[in-house]
Chains A and B, each alone.
Chain A
Amino acid sequence: MTQDDVAEAAPLVELRDVSKYYGNIRALEGVSLEVHPGEITCVLGDNGAGKSTLIKIIAGLHQQSSGSFRIEGKETKLANPREALDRGIATVYQDLAVVPLMPVWRNFFLGSEPTNGRGPFRRMDVDMMRRTTHSELLRMGIDLRDVDQPIGTLSGGERQCVAIARAVYFGAKVLVLDEPTAALGVKQSGVVLKYVAAARDAGLGVVLITHNPHHAYLVGDRFVLLKRGVMAGSHLKSEIGLDELTRQMAGGSELEQLSHELERAPVPDHLGGHER
């Protein structure tokens, strides 16, 4: 794929000067970002920086108060998550990606169930659903013994991967990931990041929301920094190094402590953690 051609075309998703107010509370103001196919745009920020608000606008859960939101060049205001899905934007949430008590195969197809038969006899194609779930997860390296087990019995990383596999299977053009590694250990995080990269290589545009600059820098192509609801910076990977990214995200006072943490968990460790 030729990166230059793609970059010339309209971005898959483009936000320009987007703001969101809840009553008189400013949740987000003047945020801009671009998502291109085959690229990962990272949104970085501490708790309360407005990351969740941003994700909810892109996912169709909330509407922006002002600013421009374009999908493939077309000005848009998404009414609900269904519309976002129909436009090719799939969102994977950290804590509510799946319904824990339901079997894996029911979760995999939830909201987009394949059916056969007609009229009152229209039914889910259970055979196909079971088979597809198993083979799609196998492709992602998750070998399930039983797709009938409740998805709540899988590990956190596996659940994220099921959600990502689901989005890829259903032909998402843009994958929005909300803190996919926040609750995970290093090894599990590595597994998830690997699938994020795999989705990127498959030509999807990815929005990765995180407060971990190390994870972001490993896979990201563009970085948008949020702070207290406003944009604190926007960079291409070529323009910024990990240290600078971390420094900008953390700000002066916490810098020393963070650089200390950086020393304890340098990047090569994470890379090493990828191997299963």
Chain B
Amino acid sequence: MTDTSTVEPAAIDERLVHRPLLSRLLGRPELGSVIGAVAVFLFFSVMTESFVSSLDTVLYAASLIGIMAVPVALLMIGGEFDLSAGVLVTASALVASMFAYQMTANVWVGVAVSLLVTLAIGFFNGFMLIRTGLPSFIITLGTFLMLQGANVGVTKLISGTVQTKSITDMEGYESAKEIFASTISIGSFDLRVTILWWVALVAVATWILLRTTWGNWIFAVGGGRDAARAVGVPVFRTKIGLYLGVALAAWISGMHLLFSFGVVQSGEGRGLELHYIAAAVIGGCLLTGGYGSAIGAGIGALIFGMTKQGIVYAQWDQDWFWFFLGAMLLLATLLNAWVRKRAEAAK
């Protein structure tokens, strides 16, 4: 901070120079995903003509995954999973839509109620995890199955079909769409508002992880839960906070889903939870917790978006997306493991 520092810190800096820049870069969890992103970008830029000119669509697809991948990454760094994240997005949209429609209130009331319900479900996940001591995989698998059933079941019960009634003509719809599903045209570039949400979430999550006490606690509860508890880290509060973070992002995503078209398909969201987890893993998160980055998860989502749209522009069969993704996941995980071993050995 100041130039009047003592000799000691200067001595540290001096010795730090000996650590080569390359080995420091190799120590970053994001490295694998950055290399992957560049490779995928170059690949589709060469393979197809329209890829580079359609970057706005690519970024939009990436942002839909990215908004969720970021809090899911934080949760994974904290040592837990959330398999219910995908259907929670749909549940959040359904609650807002149906509450607003049935109570014939302003859509904003539905939006607010949905926030509370979604956070409550997130809290339920965290609370059950702590109370029962069961693995989060089981707890959230339960929530996932229950939500999947309830989403369709309740929607059929109320609307008679598997989709909700349109709320496009209701009061407050336009203003809510402005915030959750608008498009800002900058020249020929259509900036979808979800991209802003995505970037903001990456920035906030990175700040939390690297610079706040909460971040320290997240790394600690994932990397050594008992050690963390022993030195006074509030393990339970931290984990519940992480589940609330996922719920908050699910609410943002759910509102986007709702205000994109005004109707929600109740069966949507299944399988998306694995996309979020894959994006986080590609971004350098360890499955065992304690290591990873929010920026990495953001880049992982970018790889998703590029692959998804790239395959469309290349006019390949859509199913190759899955193959591509699986290969990417394996490669990223192997690369991350290798890089980490080297970085630790090279100290």
Q: Tell me the number of A-to-B contacts counted with CB atoms below 8 Å.
A: 102
Q: Is A115 an interface residue, CB under 8 A from the partner?
A: yes
Q: Are A123 and B232 in contact (CB under 8 A)?
A: no
For B227, give its contact among A93, A109, A126 (CB under 8 Å).
Answer: A93
Q: Are B219 and A101 in contact (CB under 8 A)?
A: yes
Q: Are A99 and B8 in contact (CB under 8 A)?
A: no
Q: Most B CB atoms within 10 A — which of A124, A130, A135?
A: A124
Q: Are B220 and A110 in contact (CB under 8 A)?
A: yes
Complex contacts, B131 vs chain A, CB 8 Å:
none
Complex contacts, A97 vs chain B, CB 8 Å:
227, 230
B309 to chain A, nearest CB (A): 35
A122-B212, A150-B344 known; A99 vs B219 contact (CB < 8 Å) = yes
Q: Are B212 and A124 in contact (CB under 8 A)?
A: yes
Q: Is B149 an interface residue, CB under 8 A from the partner?
A: no
Q: Are B232 and A100 in contact (CB under 8 A)?
A: no
Can you name the residue of chain B whose Cβ is closest to the Cβ of A144?
A: B12
For A82, give its contact among B223, B227, B232 (CB under 8 Å).
Answer: B232
Q: Are B347 and A153 in contact (CB under 8 A)?
A: yes
Per the 8 Å Cβ criterion, residues 37-85 of A in contact with B are 59, 61, 81-82, 85
Q: Are B347 and A100 in contact (CB under 8 A)?
A: no
For A126, give its contact among B16, B211, B220, B232 (CB under 8 Å).
Answer: B211
Q: Are B213 and A135 in contact (CB under 8 A)?
A: no
CA distance A138 to B15 in the complex (A): 15
Interface range, A side: 35 or more
Instruction: Report whether over half of chain B's contact residues are helix, strand or loop; otherwise say mixed.
Output: helix
Number of chain B residues whose Cβ lies closer than 8 Å to a Cβ of chain A: 32
Per-residue 0/1 for B331-345: is the Cβ within 8 Å of any A Cβ (1 yes, 0 no)? 000000000000010
Can you name the residue of chain B whose Cβ is closest to the Cβ of A59?
A: B230
A93-B230, A101-B291 known; A124 vs B213 contact (CB < 8 Å) = yes
Q: Is B216 an interface residue, CB under 8 A from the partner?
A: yes
Q: Is B326 an interface residue, CB under 8 A from the partner?
A: no
CA distance A183 to B245 in the complex (A): 40
Per-residue 0/1 for A92-128: is the Cβ within 8 Å of any B Cβ (1 yes, 0 no)? 0100111111100010011111010000001110110
CA distance A81 to B233 in the complex (A): 9
A85-B232, A96-B227, A101-B223 known; A147 vs B216 contact (CB < 8 Å) = no
CA distance A145 to B290 in the complex (A): 23
Q: Is B21 an interface residue, CB under 8 A from the partner?
A: no
Q: Most A CB atoms within 10 A — which of B12, B212, B213, B231?
A: B231
Q: Is B229 an interface residue, CB under 8 A from the partner?
A: yes
Per the 8 Å Cβ criterion, residues 1-55 of B in contact with A are 1, 8-9, 12, 15-16, 18-19
Q: Most B CB atoms within 10 A — which of A97, A101, A112, A124?
A: A101
For A134, give its contact among B8, B212, B344 (CB under 8 Å).
Answer: B8
A131 to chain B, nearest CB (A): 5
A178 to chain B, nearest CB (A): 10
CA distance A109 to B286 in the complex (A): 23
Complex contacts, A122 vs chain B, CB 8 Å:
212-213
Complex contacts, B224 vs chain A, CB 8 Å:
96, 98-102
For B8, give its contact among A59, A138, A145 (CB under 8 Å).
Answer: A138
CA distance A131 to B234 in the complex (A): 26
Q: Is B228 an interface residue, CB under 8 A from the partner?
A: yes
Complex contacts, B15 vs chain A, CB 8 Å:
145-146
CA distance A146 to B223 in the complex (A): 20
Q: Is A32 an interface residue, CB under 8 A from the partner?
A: no
Can you name the residue of chain A whose Cβ is closest to the Cβ of B9?
A: A131
Q: Are A110 and B211 in contact (CB under 8 A)?
A: no
For B211, give its contact among A59, A109, A123 (CB under 8 Å).
Answer: A123
CA distance A82 to B15 in the complex (A): 37
Q: Are A111 and B232 in contact (CB under 8 A)?
A: yes
A110-B231, A146-B19 known; A102 vs B8 contact (CB < 8 Å) = no
Q: Are B347 and A96 in contact (CB under 8 A)?
A: no
Q: Are A106 and B230 in contact (CB under 8 A)?
A: no
A85-B232, A101-B219, A113-B213 known; A127 vs B1 contact (CB < 8 Å) = yes
Per the 8 Å Cβ criterion, residues 202-241 of B in contact with A are 207, 211-213, 215-216, 219-220, 223-224, 226-234
Can you name the residue of chain B whose Cβ is closest to the Cβ of A134?
A: B12
CA distance A247 to B133 in the complex (A): 43
Per-residue 0/1 for A229-263: is the Cβ within 8 Å of any B Cβ (1 yes, 0 no)? 00000000000000000000000000000000000
Complex contacts, A113 vs chain B, CB 8 Å:
213, 216
Q: Are B216 and A110 in contact (CB under 8 A)?
A: yes
A96-B224, A145-B15 known; A135 vs B8 contact (CB < 8 Å) = yes
CA distance A149 to B344 in the complex (A): 8
CA distance A232 to B233 in the complex (A): 36
Complex contacts, A160 vs chain B, CB 8 Å:
none
For A123, give its contact among B212, B228, B229, B286 (CB under 8 Å).
Answer: B212
Per the 8 Å Cβ criterion, residues 128-144 of A in contact with B are 130-131, 134-135, 138
Q: Are A102 and B231 in contact (CB under 8 A)?
A: no
CA distance A175 to B232 in the complex (A): 15
B10 to chain A, nearest CB (A): 11
CA distance A150 to B286 in the complex (A): 15
Per-residue 0/1 for B285-321: is the Cβ within 8 Å of any A Cβ (1 yes, 0 no)? 0100011000000000000000000000000000000
Identify the 6 closest CB pairs spanning chains A and B, nearest first: A99-B224, A111-B232, A111-B231, A96-B227, A99-B223, A82-B232
Q: Enumerate 10 A-B pairs (CB-CB under 8 Å) in ascending A order.
A: A97-B230, A99-B219, A101-B223, A102-B290, A113-B213, A123-B207, A123-B211, A124-B215, A134-B12, A149-B347
15 additional contacts, CB 8 Å, given A85-B231, A99-B223, A101-B219?
A: A59-B230, A81-B231, A82-B234, A85-B232, A99-B227, A101-B223, A101-B286, A102-B220, A102-B223, A110-B233, A115-B212, A122-B212, A130-B9, A153-B344, A153-B347
